[in-house]
Structure formats: structure tokens, C-alpha cells
Amino acid sequence: MSSDAPSRDDLLNLTAQAARHHAQGRLAEAVTAYTDALRLDRRNPALLYGFGLVLRDLGQTDGAATCFEAALALDSSCVDAADSLGTLRAGQGRFAEAEAYHRAALARCADRAPLWNNLANALSRQGRAPAALAAWQRAVLLDPALPEALSNLGGGLRDAERLDEAERAHRRALCLLPDEPQANNNFGHALQARLRHTEAARWFRRALALNPGYAAALCNLGLAVQRLGDGAWAERLYGRALRVAPDLALAQFNRGLLRLERGELAEGWAGYGWRFASGQAGGARQPRLPAWRGEDLTGKRLLIWGEQGVGDTILFSSLCAEAIVRARSVVIETDRRLVSLFARSFPGALVRPQSSDAVAMSDCDLHTPIGSLARVFRRDLPAFAGFAGGWLVPDPARVALWRERVVALGPGLRVGIGWRSGLMTESRRAAYSRLAQWGALFAVPGVVFVNLQYGACEAERVAAEDRFGVAIHRWDDLDLTDDFDGTAALMASLDLVIAPATAVGELAAALGVPVWRFGGRDWTQLGTAVRPWFPAQRLFQPQGGEDVHGVLNRMAAQLVRRPI
């Protein structure tokens, strides 16, 4: 053997050097050492894995992926390579691939908590919340002292509205890492979900004391102080967050809503455009078409697609007619429950149910989510001038049928009622009511009450009838959750609708039915004392610390005096 031939000692020395350089942050030297080592043994899975970690830390993700893949090809039992490749793919937004790699790692080593934590992260990013929560719980069961798993579990529990458990998980993570900025921020976030904004702000400030450039904590503190009534300070905090991280979607979105609340529409709609990236409006469909941003539509076919909840879709549908007159043709894709109502209301458009079929969408030139129409057609408050509301058209035949049925209830003012959202979270609960709080309204003489509340509310309705000695009329053959055409026809037969911020009030107002809306101020008022979308809608909002019960009592006094 030649005296120049590489020895096992040479390989071991180079490997040790490479690992030492990497641990000390001397990445260039680590690259050199790993390269020299691989020249001696190109098919060494451990070397390939270590070299991949260095390339990953250098931001060379393609090279890192190649190394991890090569290590796995040589040794399918290389658990760390599979797990690292999964994490890398997740960072690239390839979450299904990430899940597959993490599962491959767990197939070989199911008792390692970090692997379950990483799998949960990939599942969460795919919107598979229950599976992610179960995987985080498995990680914490295997290692109760793994801070990142506890923190992630807390976030999953918070999203599932299991707020007591979420707070406990974040508190445990904080006990393990009391001086870690993210642990402090996440604990504050858990408190914020419980509307404990003053307490939450203290933990965000502590996170910032530990890391003054922590953009997420700046954004969260901004929301806390905004909820506590200091919009000017919130604006400055959002600005600071965005100077650190210009693409921080939640800061862009929160600042946008704050500006809309103040009536700064052009700037506000720009921030509202970040709603999908921030996770505040669900997953965007993003059809494979160019996005319409307000340019000339002459000769173009525009796809307008529904987003968020039915109430938001109804609100923004007020702008569809303006798009229809500008384009050669318009396709509106919306919740199947709204198709017939929208088709009747917008005869100049083709209305169809939402679809993910790319072929079906290929008949259009441009697309826009329905909420983005406002940035084109409502850039300032004068753009609402002359807008009287009442743009949706109910089925005349069904209106005639429902009018007969409502008249048969007897004389009196016919008032439809809704009292809460179908999705009752802790943060929403303060904005809605319980039917047990409606006693003063039910005591107003000469009123015929009609139920418009969708969802599982029968027990609450029956209990209120027994308690207050009032009839709240309903019909078994009308599905208030799914039959929007029938509900619209019933609403059109009423004199008044009383409801909080739900689809019930939005639909009634869009039909031109008088609506009394109760609850706090929100961004849809656009800095005014009314809601410019519905000029005739009356707002009943808390005054001087008044609670929902007090607002309902005040509405009852107004109903006694009548005019609607």
C-alpha cells in the first residue's frame, strides 16, 4: 500500500474537525473539512448528513436536500436525515412531502419526542388541526420537558378553543425557558385569546425586553394596546414590527384593519389584502389566473370568488354590480347556498358554486377574491355616496308564500331575531347575547317574534318561550342554515330584523329589510357612526361600560316608541 493512501485516522480526524467547526459556527471551515472527508469516503451517510446540516445553516437548501437524500439512499435507517429533510421541505412550503419524511423517521424511531413535534408542525400547516394536536400531545407525553413541543401544543389548544389547557401548556414552556423571548410571547398570546389584554401586554413587553427586535411580539403588543383603546400607540408598534420584518403578514393585516377603523380606506384596504397570508381569512384559493388589481376590464372576463364566511361574502357582494358593468363578462363563484340568490340579483353575471376545477376557471382572464373589490371601488368614503343598499333580490314566489304564513301569525310588528354566531369562541362570546337576556324586548307589546337564528338553538328558544311567556315562531320546513333563498323570502316578509354581527343581519340588510344591529364597533363602520354599506341600518352599541344586556334593554325602550 502507498504511504500516501488515506488512512482511517485521516477520515476520523477530518470528521471530528468538520463537526467541531460546525459547532463553533465556523461554517466555511466546516465545508472544507466535510469536502475533504467526502473525498476519502463518498458513500458515508453520516458525513453526507453532517455536510447537509452545514449547507442548511448556510442557507443552501438545495445542496442540503441533496445531501440528506443521498444519506437516506445509502442508509434508509438514517432517522435524522429523514427528519431534517422533512423540516427543510416544510420550510419550502412543501408540507405533504415534509409529513412523509417525518413519518418515515418515526417508522424507525417512534419514541423520540422531537420527531412527533416536527410531524405535528407539518400537519398543522396542512390545516389538519386534530391530527397535529394529537401529534403534539404524543411529543409532550414522550418528553414533558420539551419546550418547543409544549409551546406548539399550547398554540394548537388555543386554536381549538381549549384555552385553559393552552394557558397551562404555555406556562409550562415558560417555566422551562423563562428568559426565552418566544416562550414569553406565546404565553402572552394565550392570555390575549382570553381577552386578558392588560396581562398579555406585560408578557409581550417582557419578550421585547429580552429581544427588542422581536417582530411578532411587537405585533402582538400592538393588538393588545389597540384592544385597550390606544390606536395611535398600536399604529407605532405595527410600524416598528414592519421595519424589522416588512413581510410580517399579521402586522400588515392588523394595521390595515386599524386604518379601516379610522376611515383611512386606501391604506386600510392595502393592509386588508394580507388577510390570507396572515391566516386571518382561511386558505386562499389562488386560481391559476392573473390577479385583477383595478386595471381596465374592457374585453376581459373576470372571476370573482367568495371567501371567508357567508356574512362577509354578502357584505362585499354589494360591489359585484360595479365590476359587472366594467367587464365583458363576470363569473361569480360562491357558497352553494347563495348561488340562486346571487344569480337572481346579478343577472349580468354567471353565478356558480365554488370549484377547485382549474379547467372550469380557465374560461376567465383575471380573478379577484370578492373582498378585494373594495380596494378598487371603495377607496374613500365619498365612493359610498348614493348607495342605498338593498341589492339582493328574493324569489317573488317564495316571498308571496312566506308573506301569507307571516300574516297568519296575527297582527303586530313582525320582528325577526338572531342572537349569536354559529361559531361561539371565547373572543366572540362578548359580542353576542343569550336569549335569556332578551326579556325586555319580549315584553314589548304588539310584537310578533320570528326566529332567524341558525344552528342548534331549539333548546334555548323553547326555554325563552317558557320563561318569558312569548311565542318565537319557527317553521320545520325551513332550514335556516342551508336554505338562504327561503330565509331571504321570509326576511322580506318582516318589518324588522334584530341581530348582532352575523350573516342574519347582513342578509336582511342586503335585502333592504330594516335592521337593528347590536354589539360593539368594528372596522366595517370605516371610521363613521354608521355602516356605510347599509345606510339605513341602525346601530345599538354599548355606552359607558354598558353590557349586552343593557343594550338590549335600550333597544326594547326604542321598540316601544316604534318608528323603525
- Tell me: the pLDDT tens digits for 280-329? 876 556 788 999 999 999 999 999 999 888 999 999 999 999 999 999 99
pLDDT above 50 for 131:
yes
- Domain end residue (candidates: 315, 344, 379): 379
Pick from 6-20, 206-220, 298-312, 336-350: least confident? 6-20
Q: Write down the mean pLDDT value for the chain.
A: 92
pLDDT at 184: 96
Look at residue 208 and tell me if it is in a domain: no
Look at residue 83 and tell me if it is in a domain: no
Q: Is the domain of 355 the same as that of 409?
A: no
Q: Is the domain of 403 the same as that of 336?
A: no
Share of the chain above pLDDT 70, in %: 95
Q: pLDDT of 71-81, one tens digit each?
A: 989 988 899 99
Look at residue 337 and tell me if it is in a domain: yes
What is the CATH classification number for the domain harbouring 359?
3.40.50
Q: How confident is the model at residue 422 (pLDDT cuts 50, 70, 90)?
A: low
Mean pLDDT, residues 407-436 = 82
Q: What radius of gyration, in Å, describes the C-alpha atoms of the chain?
A: 29
Phi, psi of 310 (to 5 degrees): -60, -40
| Cα 319 from Cα 327, distance rounded (Å) | 13
Q: How confident is the model at residue 420 (pLDDT cuts 50, 70, 90)?
A: confident
Q: Is the domain of 422 the same as that of 501?
A: yes
Q: Is the domain of 459 the same as that of 520?
A: yes
pLDDT above 80 for 124:
yes
Q: Are 302 and 323 in contact (CB under 8 A)?
A: yes
Q: Is the domain of 448 the same as that of 341?
A: no
Q: How confident is the model at residue 7 (pLDDT cuts 50, 70, 90)?
A: low
Look at residue 475 and tell me if it is in a domain: yes
Q: Is the domain of 342 the same as that of 475?
A: no
Look at residue 487 and tell me if it is in a domain: yes
**Cell reading at 168:** 397551562
pLDDT at 3: 45
- Domain end residue (candidates: 329, 351, 379): 379
Q: Is the domain of 419 the same as that of 460?
A: yes
Q: Is the domain of 406 the same as that of 354?
A: no
pLDDT at 206: 98
What is the CATH classification number for the domain harbouring 471?
3.40.50.2000
Q: Is the domain of 555 the same as that of 413?
A: yes
Look at residue 431 and tell me if it is in a domain: yes
Look-up of cell digits 326566529: 451
pLDDT at 426: 61
Q: pLDDT of 253-281, one tens digit each?
A: 999 999 999 999 999 999 999 999 888 87
Q: How confident is the model at residue 564 (pLDDT cuts 50, 70, 90)?
A: low
Look at residue 391 and tell me if it is in a domain: no
Enclosing domain of residue 550: 396-561
Q: Is the domain of 346 the same as that of 440?
A: no
- Domain end residue (candidates: 327, 345, 379): 379
| Cα 518 from Cα 531, distance rounded (Å) | 12
Q: Are 531 and 525 in contact (CB under 8 A)?
A: yes
Which amino acid is present at 350? L
Q: Is the domain of 310 the same as that of 455?
A: no
Q: Is the domain of 441 the same as that of 322?
A: no
Burial of 503 (0-12, 13-18, 19+ CB in 10 A): buried
Look at residue 542 and tell me if it is in a domain: yes
* Tally of structural domains, the chain: 2
Cα–Cα distances in angstroms (integers) from residue 421 to residues 192, 430, 433, in the given order = 21, 11, 9
| Cα 49 from Cα 45, distance rounded (Å) | 6
Quote the crossing angle between the two packed helices 61-74 and 45-57, to the nearest 10°.
160
pLDDT at 524: 96
